Amino acid sequence: DTEVTQTPKHLVMGMTNKKSLKCEQHMGHRAMYWYKQKAKKPPELMFVYSYEKLSINESVPSRFSPECPNSSLLNLHLHALQPEDSALYLCASSQQGWETEAFFGQGTRLTVV
Protein backbone atom coordinates (compact mmCIF):
# COMPACT_ATOMS: atom_id res chain seq x y z
CA ASP A 1 0.00 0.00 0.00
CA THR A 2 1.70 3.19 -1.21
CA GLU A 3 -1.25 5.45 -0.54
CA VAL A 4 -1.58 8.54 1.55
CA THR A 5 -5.27 9.15 2.12
CA GLN A 6 -6.72 12.54 2.96
CA THR A 7 -10.23 13.43 4.04
CA PRO A 8 -12.28 15.32 3.17
CA LYS A 9 -11.50 15.99 -0.50
CA HIS A 10 -13.32 19.31 -0.40
CA LEU A 11 -14.22 21.56 2.53
CA VAL A 12 -16.05 24.86 2.70
CA MET A 13 -15.98 26.59 6.06
CA GLY A 14 -16.90 29.93 7.53
CA MET A 15 -14.42 32.13 9.32
CA THR A 16 -15.90 31.24 12.71
CA ASN A 17 -15.98 27.49 12.13
CA LYS A 18 -13.70 24.81 13.53
CA LYS A 19 -12.84 21.92 11.27
CA SER A 20 -10.18 19.26 10.93
CA LEU A 21 -8.30 17.75 8.00
CA LYS A 22 -7.23 14.14 8.28
CA CYS A 23 -4.36 12.19 6.74
CA GLU A 24 -3.58 8.49 6.99
CA GLN A 25 -0.75 6.27 5.72
CA HIS A 26 0.07 2.63 6.31
CA MET A 27 3.53 2.49 4.79
CA GLY A 28 5.33 2.58 8.13
CA HIS A 29 6.67 6.05 7.38
CA ARG A 30 7.84 7.95 10.42
CA ALA A 31 7.97 11.44 8.88
CA MET A 32 4.72 13.19 7.98
CA TYR A 33 4.18 16.62 6.51
CA TRP A 34 1.57 19.27 5.89
CA TYR A 35 1.96 21.46 2.81
CA LYS A 36 -0.20 24.32 1.57
CA GLN A 37 -0.53 24.91 -2.17
CA LYS A 38 -2.11 27.98 -3.73
CA ALA A 39 -3.15 27.97 -7.37
CA LYS A 40 -0.21 27.98 -9.80
CA LYS A 41 2.28 27.90 -6.92
CA PRO A 42 4.52 25.18 -5.51
CA PRO A 43 3.69 23.31 -2.32
CA GLU A 44 4.76 25.34 0.70
CA LEU A 45 5.86 23.46 3.80
CA MET A 46 3.86 24.09 6.97
CA PHE A 47 4.74 21.36 9.49
CA VAL A 48 6.92 18.27 9.79
CA TYR A 49 6.34 15.46 12.26
CA SER A 50 9.12 13.02 12.99
CA TYR A 51 8.32 9.95 15.07
CA GLU A 52 5.03 11.57 16.09
CA LYS A 53 6.75 14.67 17.42
CA LEU A 54 6.54 18.08 15.83
CA SER A 55 10.00 18.80 14.46
CA ILE A 56 9.40 21.74 12.14
CA ASN A 57 6.86 24.56 12.25
CA GLU A 58 7.44 26.99 9.40
CA SER A 59 6.09 29.97 11.36
CA VAL A 60 2.52 28.96 10.62
CA PRO A 61 -0.23 31.05 12.27
CA SER A 62 -1.76 29.49 15.37
CA ARG A 63 -5.15 29.18 13.66
CA PHE A 64 -3.60 26.05 12.12
CA SER A 65 -2.93 23.39 14.75
CA PRO A 66 -1.35 20.07 13.78
CA GLU A 67 -1.70 16.83 15.67
CA CYS A 68 -0.16 13.39 15.24
CA PRO A 69 -2.18 10.92 17.33
CA ASN A 70 -0.11 7.93 16.18
CA SER A 71 2.41 6.91 13.54
CA SER A 72 -0.26 6.45 10.85
CA LEU A 73 -2.40 9.53 11.39
CA LEU A 74 -1.90 13.24 11.00
CA ASN A 75 -4.53 15.89 11.60
CA LEU A 76 -4.68 19.59 10.92
CA HIS A 77 -7.14 21.48 13.09
CA LEU A 78 -8.50 24.71 11.64
CA HIS A 79 -10.02 27.58 13.60
CA ALA A 80 -10.89 31.17 12.75
CA LEU A 81 -9.43 30.97 9.26
CA GLN A 82 -9.31 33.82 6.79
CA PRO A 83 -10.38 33.78 3.13
CA GLU A 84 -6.69 33.94 2.12
CA ASP A 85 -6.22 30.55 3.76
CA SER A 86 -8.22 29.00 0.94
CA ALA A 87 -5.88 26.55 -0.80
CA LEU A 88 -5.11 22.90 -1.46
CA TYR A 89 -3.73 21.29 1.69
CA LEU A 90 -1.46 18.37 0.98
CA CYS A 91 -0.30 15.73 3.39
CA ALA A 92 2.83 13.72 2.66
CA SER A 93 4.86 11.02 4.31
CA SER A 94 8.32 9.53 3.95
CA GLN A 95 10.63 7.13 5.66
CA GLN A 96 12.53 8.89 8.38
CA GLY A 97 15.81 10.31 7.30
CA TRP A 98 17.24 12.00 4.27
CA GLU A 99 17.18 11.09 0.63
CA THR A 100 13.79 9.43 0.73
CA GLU A 101 10.78 9.88 -1.50
CA ALA A 102 7.85 11.81 -0.10
CA PHE A 103 4.45 10.36 -1.03
CA PHE A 104 1.63 12.88 -1.30
CA GLY A 105 -2.05 12.52 -0.61
CA GLN A 106 -4.56 13.86 -3.12
CA GLY A 107 -5.15 16.91 -0.94
CA THR A 108 -8.09 18.70 0.64
CA ARG A 109 -9.33 21.70 -1.30
CA LEU A 110 -10.32 24.21 1.36
CA THR A 111 -12.48 27.25 0.74
CA VAL A 112 -12.96 29.78 3.53
CA VAL A 113 -16.01 31.99 3.13
Partner 1 sequence: GENVEQHPSTLSVQEGDSAVIKCTYSDSASNYFPWYKQELGKRPQLIIDIRSNVGEKKDQRIAVTLNKTAKHFSLHITETQPEDSAVYFCAAQESSASKIIFGSGTRLSIRP
Among 21, 78, 85, 105, indicate the residue that binds partner 1 (CB under 8 A).
Answer: 105
Residue 90 is classified by DSSP as E
At a CB cut-off of 8 Å and minimum separation 6, what does 17 contact?
78, 79, 81
| Contact characters 57-86, partner 1, x per CB under 8 A | ------------------------------
Q: CA angle, 32 as apex, 72 and 78 as ends, to 5°?
A: 90
Q: By CB under 8 A, tell whether 27 contacts partner 1.
A: no
Measure CA 18 to chain center.
Answer: 16
Size of the residue set binding partner 1 (CB under 8 A): 26
Q: By CB under 8 A, tell whether 98 contacts partner 1.
A: yes
Taking the complex as a whole, the smallest distance from the CB of residue 61 to partner 1 amounts, in Å, to: 18
Residue 84: phi and psi, rounded to 5, are -70, -10
Among 81, 90, 110, 112, indicate the residue that binds partner 1 (CB under 8 A).
Answer: 90
Q: By CB under 8 A, tell whether 87 contacts partner 1.
A: no
3-state SS of 66-87? EEEEECCEEEEEEECCCHHHCE
Residues at the interface with partner 1 (CB under 8 A): 31, 33, 40-45, 48, 50, 55-56, 90, 94, 96-107
